[in-house]
Structure 1
Amino acid sequence: MTLLALSCTLIFVFITMFVSFWKRLGLEKSIAIGSIRAAVQLLAIGYVLQYVFQTEHVAFIILIIAIMTVVATWNASRRGAGLKGVFWRIALTIGVMEAFMILFLIGLNLIEPTPQYIIPLSGMTIGNAMIVSGLFTTSIKREVEASRGEIETLLSLGASGTQAMQGPMKRAVKFSMIPTIDSLKTVGLVQLPGMMTGMIIAGADPVEAVRYQLLILFSHTGSAAMTSMILSMLYQKLFFTPDARLRKIERS
């Protein structure tokens, strides 16, 4: 793809900005800034990855994954404003899931232990865990506020914090899994995933591309479920005082 052809795709951004201006939505600035940031960030990471792929130094791989994890954690933890200790809980969960998934795939010889495989798959895994973490955090805050009377009643009747939070936690886990489950139901019928599409455009055999895409889908489904379940355990004490009373969640 030539630079001129790529530049022509900016017409879609301009159309969106025009519609926003026409309808007085006030999104023109956000769209412009977002488009510029996306271009700069992707070009920068493209040059960085080109260098890392050539050197294949493990320190660079670890550094890139660490940066991905910190940024993803920061973004997801913003959903938990008013809850102390959210950042490190999400960071721990994403870090554990990233390490587990990559070591699992390498251990079964499903991918080669090279930057070309590890970094892109890590990005997808961390991004998926970030989305699940953000959705879970948003949902559990809402569930606790909506079920405050029910939780306090159960506590007054002698239930433990874990028992009292069982209902809200289950609903939050289900809510955080909705995008993943919906994606599984519609993949191939409504959408062709990015990795599969990219491989096909690059000239790979469609069946081989499907196999790699299934590997990603299945691993992401498992990591999404485990991410929300780990968070449900780590979040238990966030909502209670040392004497087992339900905390008042600060408004963000």
Structure 2
Amino acid sequence: MIGPLLAVLLVVIAAAAALIVKLLELGRARDTLIAVARAIVQLAAVSLIIGFVLRSWWLTAAFLTLMTVVGGGTSAKRITGSLRLRSWWAVVPILAGLLPTLTLILASTVVPLHPVAVLPSAGILIGGAMTATSLAGRRTAEELTSRRGEYEAALSLGFLRRDAVILVARPAAALALIPGMDQTRTVGLVTLPGAFVGVLLAGASPWQAGATQVLVLVALLLVQSIAVAVTVELIAAGLLPAGGAVLPE
């Protein structure tokens, strides 16, 4: 599977995606190509070190910390457009969703307390929290910009800043939950997600693979719900800058 044919296929698919983005003005084609290049380099690096990392709890914890920091930085840039000090508040929604959910899963002993099980499970949850944080933050910023008049009207009526932000932006931020909700509703009918396929290929029964996937999807719903709620609260409190939406107090 790994060889020249795979390389050619990746180049063709990436180029086609970038071309569509450019022709239809869906963004910058360069961003698509950079994302593909980064994915290849990063997965190659992870493939080289993952076996070593999984030998130690300390290295596993360090790797999870790195994943969280990178996820927080990615969300921070999506929401605020920069990586200023205050932008790093974007790490908080990710941790707020990850820690209680992962603790609950591990305490139940459903997932064995071993690096080879904990690392991929936590990685999926961090990725889900990052996506939800980015989407919720972007939607909140856009809504506060486009509906600034409603926000100011709420303030004039005596609403506190937090209440005015939540009134205007929370319904839009909640849209960040739709991808995860749709994936959960259609699993097995539209998609066979990675956890299911991975467990199946590892030699487990279809029942075990299905149970693993259900756990992942349900855990993601909790992680993303917490991440969205915390993201909106941080923006409402003025701790996390919402892009270009400069709000009067």
**What is the TM-score when the length of structure 1 is the normalising length?**
0.83
User: Contact between 1:17 and 1:28, CA under 8 Å: does it hold in 2?
Assistant: no
Quote how far apart the aligned CAs of 1:42 are: 1.2
Residue 89 of structure 1: aligned partner: 89
Question: Which runs of 5 or more structure 1 residues have no equivalent in the other structure?
Answer: 241-246
Quote how far apart the aligned CAs of 1:30 are: 5.5
Residue 51 of structure 1: aligned partner: 52
User: Contact between 1:80 and 1:86, CA under 8 Å: does it hold in 2?
Assistant: no
SS in structure 2 at match of 1:238:
coil
Give the distance between the partners of 2:236 and 2:128, measured in 1 at CA. 22
Structure 2 counterparts to residues 212-227 of structure 1, below 5 A:
212-227=212-227
Give the distance between the partners of 2:215 and 2:21, measured in 1 at CA. 44
Query: Would you say 1:13 and 2:14 are equivalent positions?
Result: no
- Paired amino acid for 1:77: A
Give the distance between the partners of 1:147 and 1:59, measured in 2 at CA. 47
User: Contact between 2:150 and 2:168, CA under 8 Å: does it hold in 1?
Assistant: no
SS in structure 2 at match of 1:87:
helix
SS in structure 1 at match of 2:238:
helix
Give the distance between the partners of 2:87 and 2:37, measured in 1 at CA. 28
Distance 1:75 1:157, change over 3 A: same
Distance 1:131 1:21, change over 3 A: closer
Query: Would you say 1:42 and 2:39 are equivalent positions?
Result: no
Residue 139 of structure 1: aligned partner: 139
SS in structure 1 at match of 2:127:
helix
Residue 125 of structure 1: aligned partner: 125
Give the distance between the partners of 2:92 and 2:198, measured in 1 at CA. 31
Size of the aligned set, in residue pairs, is 238
Cα distance per residue 1:137-169 (max 9 Å; x no partner)? 100011111221111112112122232223223
Quote how far apart the aligned CAs of 1:33 are: 4.7
Give the distance between the partners of 2:17 and 2:45, measured in 1 at CA. 29
Q: CA RMSD in A?
A: 2.8
Q: 230-239 or 129-138, which moves further after superposition? A: 230-239
User: Contact between 2:101 and 2:222, CA under 8 Å: does it hold in 1?
Assistant: no
Residue 169 of structure 2: aligned partner: 169
Give the distance between the partners of 1:23 and 1:151, measured in 2 at CA. 37
User: Contact between 2:19 and 2:29, CA under 8 Å: does it hold in 1?
Assistant: no
Distance 1:157 1:183, change over 3 A: same
Distance 1:22 1:163, change over 3 A: closer
- Paired amino acid for 1:194: G
Quote how far apart the aligned CAs of 1:203 are: 2.6
**What is the TM-score when the length of structure 2 is the normalising length?**
0.84
Question: Which runs of 5 or more structure 2 residues have no equivalent in the other structure?
Answer: none
Distance 1:81 1:238, change over 3 A: same
User: Contact between 1:200 and 1:206, CA under 8 Å: does it hold in 2?
Assistant: yes
Distance 1:230 1:85, change over 3 A: farther
Give the distance between the partners of 1:111 and 1:17, measured in 2 at CA. 36
